[in-house]
Amino acid sequence: MRILVTGVSGFIGSHLAERLVADGHSVLGVDSFLDFYPREIKENNMKALLGKPGFEFIEGDLSGLDLGELLSGVEGIYHQAAIAGVRTSWGGRFSEYVRNNISCTQLLLEAAKDKNLKKFVYASSSSVYGDAEAFPTREDVQLRPVSPYGVTKLAGENLATLYYKGYGVPVVSLRYFTVYGPRQRPDMAFH
């Protein structure tokens, strides 16, 4: 299966792409190398992928690529690309979060609606829950994000749901909870 992985140079995206290639899939990886953390770290994340049969890399921003052409022959999408970080989402950088986490998600969903996809996996966040009132927290509780980052990830989930209901895009949203491990982001509390 030919699969698009956005945010392929990131922590989760690079591990995911490695696994997909190892499982025999053809992976098209896209990343714009946002400056949230050093480019060298992201390039290092992709070392095992570059030059490997079954992996193709495109450096670019989703808002500047021809997404119709990019999705030609793609059967699955793992949309990992986003600006992460709760603390940095406040203040002047919020417009970057909106552009990358909401607008680029909508552009990708719009391009995907006319394709014959088998799956579209959207990377959301536990930040959509906000301050949980009960533990364990049920998936069906009212979502009340308490950060601009959480708001953008919830908006992405809502867009994904709309494109599923309106156009049949086979979307599933995954709410990641403090993922950590080798190649994790340098700003994470766990090191």
**DSSP helix/strand/coil, 96:** helix
Please tell me the distance from the alpha carbon of residue 99 to that of residue 82, in angstroms, as a whole number.
9
Close Cβ partners of 171 (under 8 Å, ≥ 6 residues apart)? 109, 120, 121, 122, 160, 161, 163, 164
Please tell me the distance from the alpha carbon of residue 181 to that of residue 179, in angstroms, as a whole number.
7
The answer to whether 31 and 37 are in contact (CB under 8 A) is no
DSSP 8-class letter at 143: P
* Catalytic residue (choose from 149, 163, 164, 180): 149
The answer to whether 122 and 108 are in contact (CB under 8 A) is no
Q: Alpha helix locations (H) across 2-147?
A: 11-22, 39-45, 67-70, 94-97, 104-112
State yes or no: is 149 an active-site residue: yes
Please tell me the distance from the alpha carbon of residue 157 to that of residue 26, in angstroms, as a whole number.
26
Active site residue ranges: 149
